[in-house]
């Protein structure tokens, strides 16, 4: 009996340092023959970068791509000018102060920002008013009677900021939720998805791109009657979007330029589209 595709997708997820070197094995090159590109940043982009990195290394066996565990957007923006990583992954543009550090941010794709539940949770849609009631604690059960467990992020997180901007009622409800004892809390995108998967009745925010690229057993909920799909995001029907940026130094290396060019090539765009993104 062949392994389940979802299990196969999850087996590789998040070793301490994920090194993509398939092209090196195929070509028989040694470590000394290669140049390394280190990529890190927002967790919602890591799964897709893993896939892009594998495809890039097959075409460019002289370059080894290392995708680091989640650094967050702010961590990536700080790490690039210090030379700790070569390419940062951010979910927002640079501030004026950050741009003064000699770095630039280039948007490469967008993906829907979604409310997600485990595949075991028997719900497929939600409304913004219901989201506010869930965070406020006035809507505590799913239609089958099971308890709703919203997963929270830290107040300054980009997803939390976007969530607060969805409505005044949600903004007020989140402030109430932060004060409620025993609420599930996550510090990274990967931890958020893990808790949505593992806590019965959990709901939280993630991206369609992360669900698809990591093979997550999660369901993106339709919101106010609109399916949370890349097509609906691209047309504006689904309005809640996570923008994805590459952050690089003003004078990047030739290898970094080659990787960025690959992401914007037909092959790179196809990978992005197949993993829940669209190209702005």
Q: Please report, for the chain, the start and end positions of each structural domain, with discontinuous segments joined by +.
A: 5-110+242-274, 111-235
- Which residue's structure tokens are 């967050």? 72
pLDDT digit string (tens) for 176-188? 998 888 899 999 9
Average pLDDT over residues 82-104: 97
How high is the mean pLDDT of the chain? 90
Mean pLDDT for the stretch of residues 11-30:
40
pLDDT at 93: 96
C-alpha to C-alpha distance for 215 and 10, rounded to whole angstroms: 6
Q: What is the pLDDT of residue 154?
A: 86
Per-residue pLDDT averaged across 209-213, rounded? 98
**What superfamily would CATH give domain 5-110+242-274?**
Periplasmic binding protein-like II (3.40.190.10)
Whether the pLDDT of residue 167 is over 80: the answer is yes
Query: Is the pLDDT assigned to residue 2 strictly greater than 60?
Result: no
With a pLDDT cut of 70, the percent of the chain lying above it is 88
pLDDT at 173: 96
> How do residues 141-161 score in pLDDT, each as one tens digit?
999 999 999 999 988 888 899
Q: Is 181 exposed, middle or buried (0-12, 13-18, 19+ CB in 10 A)?
A: exposed
Q: How confident is the model at residue 33 (pLDDT cuts 50, 70, 90)?
A: low
Tokens 């094995």 correspond to 25
Mean per-residue pLDDT for 47-58?
Answer: 98
- In degrees, rounded to 5, the angle at the alpha carbon of residue 38 between the alpha carbons of residues 34 and 40 is 160
Q: Is the pLDDT of residue 4 over 60?
A: no
Condensed to tens digits (0 to 9), the pLDDT of residues 69-80 reads 999 999 999 999
> What is the CATH architecture of 111-235?
3-Layer(aba) Sandwich (3.40)
pLDDT at residue 25 is higher than 60: no
Residue 6: pLDDT over 70: no
Whole-number Å distance between alpha carbons of 94 and 104? 8
> pLDDT at residue 46 above 60?
yes
Give the CA radius of gyration of the chain: 19
What average pLDDT does the segment 181-196 reach?
95
Give the residue among 213, 207, 210, 247 at the shortest CA–CA distance from 228.
207
Q: Is the pLDDT at 29 greater than 70, yes or no?
A: no
């Amino acid at each position: 009996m062949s392994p389940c595709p979802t299990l196969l997708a999850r087996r590789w997820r998040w070793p301490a340092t994920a090194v993509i070197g398939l092209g090196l094995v195929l070509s028989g090159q040694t470590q000394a023959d290669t140049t390394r590109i280190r990529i890190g940043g927002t967790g919602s982009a890591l799964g897709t970068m893993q896939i892009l990195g594998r495809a890039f290394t097959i075409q460019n066996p002289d370059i080894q791509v290392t995708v680091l565990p989640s650094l967050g957007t702010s961590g990536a923006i700080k790490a690039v000018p210090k030379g700790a990583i070569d390419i940062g992954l951010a979910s927002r543009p640079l501030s004026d102060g950050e741009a003064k550090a000699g770095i630039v941010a280039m948007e490469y794709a967008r993906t829907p920002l979604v409310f997600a539940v485990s595949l075991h949770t028997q719900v497929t849609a939600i409304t913004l008013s219901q989201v506010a009631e869930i965070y406020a604690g006035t809507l505590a059960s799913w239609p089958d009677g099971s308890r709703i467990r919203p997963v929270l992020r830290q107040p300054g997180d980009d997803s939390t900021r976007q969530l607060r901007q969805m409505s005044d009622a949600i903004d007020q409800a989140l402030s109430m939720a932060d004060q409620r004892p025993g609420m599930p809390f996550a510090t990274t995108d990967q931890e958020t998805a893990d808790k949505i998967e593992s806590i019965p009745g959990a709901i939280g925010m993630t991206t369609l791109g992360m669900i698809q690229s990591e093979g997550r057993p999660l369901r993106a909920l339709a919101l106010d009657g609109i399916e949370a799909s890349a097509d609906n995001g691209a047309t504006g029907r689904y309005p809640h979007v996570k923008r994805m940026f590459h952050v690089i130094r003003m004078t990047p290396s030739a290898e970094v330029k080659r990787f960025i060019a690959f992401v914007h090539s037909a092959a790179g765009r196809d990978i992005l589209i197949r993993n829940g993104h669209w190209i702005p």
